[in-house]
Amino acid sequence: MIKFGIQQPSHTFPQMPPRGERPADGHAVFRNVQRIAQEAERVGFDSFWVMDHFIQIPFVGAAEEPILEPYTALAALAAATSRIRLGTMVTGTPYRNPAHLAKIGATLDVISNGRLFMGIGAGWFEREFNAYGWEFPPLKDRMGRLREALQIIIKMWTEERPSFQGKYYTIADVICEPRPVQRPRPPILIGGGGEQVTLRLVAQYAEASNLFGNPESLKRKYDILAKHCADVGRDPASILKTRLGQMVIARNEAELTRKLARYYPGGLGNNQETWGVVAGTPEQCIEQCQQLVDAGAEYPIFSFPDAETLEPLHLFAEEVAPKLNA
């Protein structure tokens, strides 16, 4: 059975002030995110994801738009939901000491009673690093930090008083209590499609791989992941293949035209061909989703630009998901 996740990258909603103006009621930002997460749980989505960013990223919105710190928000969402899995898509390793991150993750797993899905990556948004005063290491060093962070997090979730001495991080006889609820540990998802390093890290350390892209690029990346798995003696079927992308879904062609004019005024163009944006009526979305599944995506994760209306969640859950699981 195919399961589906939902990501909410934007925390700006229609009733809020125009871009560039500060929201009058910051709590309304969270209330809307919570409302989407609760409805996603009610209609059957398996997971709910927020980005690990502190400044809104360029291809989602303006820098001045509100965005919630992810782990604080996820802890509150854990208290407001009961079934849906919760995660970051994805945490930038350099933002937090990895031992601290392991402690945060363990606590969130305890609060949610075993619903953490830990998403992690190397980090990329240089403006954010500079604005918040973090060093922005070269890519090679960011990947090295990711490798060490993965080892530390796994040790802290599975071992008693582990120690680790690396190039970037050190822990010594560390205690992580309470331990996560999930056994042997919460699943780790690594985001990114780097063919030489990132996908090898997935093969070595992760339970899930998250990619972007169209069916052709997905299939090629999954083939490369399988080769890395063979190199480290792992069955590639043991890795959940998730795929993140946007969906614009409408009840009919006229409504679809209005939505596309609003969210893609210049046309879909490269967004559909390269990034694999799914757009259409339910029947068209089924066909496009099936192409992703046929390429190897086992766990599609979608963001909906109009999620706050809740209508696209209902359309997907009622019209698309059942057909893909028929």
How far is residue 45 CA from its own chain's centroid?
A: 14
Confidence at residue 131, expressed as pLDDT on a 0 to 100 scale: 97
Can you list the alpha helix ranges (DSSP code H) found in 57-173? 70-80, 98-111, 126-132, 139-158
Contact 125, 133 (CB under 8 A): no
Q: What's phi and psi for 276, nearest 5 deg?
A: 75, 35
Confidence at residue 247, expressed as pLDDT on a 0 to 100 scale: 97
Confidence at residue 14, expressed as pLDDT on a 0 to 100 scale: 77
- Residue 274 neighbours by CB under 8 Å, 6+ apart: 213, 214
147 pLDDT band, cuts 50/70/90, is very high
272 has a pLDDT exceeding 80 = no
37 has a pLDDT exceeding 80 = yes
86 has a pLDDT exceeding 70 = yes
- Residue 110 neighbours by CB under 8 Å, 6+ apart: 178, 180, 181
Three-state DSSP class for residue 226: helix
Pairing of strands 116-121, 91-92: parallel
Contact 311, 282 (CB under 8 A): no
Confidence at residue 107, expressed as pLDDT on a 0 to 100 scale: 98
Token pair, residue 260, equals: 């596309």
For residues 321 and 317, what is the distance between their CA atoms, to the nearest angstrom? 5
78 pLDDT band, cuts 50/70/90, is very high
Maximum Cα–Cα distance across the chain: 62
Domains of the chain: 5-324 (3.20.20.30)
What mean pLDDT is predicted for residues 88-110? 98
For residues 133 and 147, what is the distance between their CA atoms, to the nearest angstrom? 23
Mind listing the pLDDT tens digit for each residue in 124-142?
999 999 999 999 999 999 9
Three-state DSSP class for residue 203: helix
204 has a pLDDT exceeding 80 = yes
What mean pLDDT is predicted for residues 66-92? 97
Mind listing the pLDDT tens digit for each residue in 205-247?
999 999 999 999 999 999 999 999 999 999 999 999 999 999 9
For residues 135 and 174, what is the distance between their CA atoms, to the nearest angstrom? 25
Mind listing the pLDDT tens digit for each residue in 153-200?
999 999 999 999 999 999 999 999 999 999 999 999 999 999 999 999
For residues 297 and 300, what is the distance between their CA atoms, to the nearest angstrom? 6
What length does the chain have?
326
CB neighbours of residue 247 within 10 Å: 23
* Burial environment of residue 259 by CB neighbours within 10 A (0 to 12, 13 to 18, 19 or more): middle
For residues 131 and 114, what is the distance between their CA atoms, to the nearest angstrom? 34
The DSSP output letter for 178 is S
For residues 19 and 221, what is the distance between their CA atoms, to the nearest angstrom? 37
323 has a pLDDT exceeding 90 = yes
The DSSP output letter for 169 is -
21 has a pLDDT exceeding 70 = no
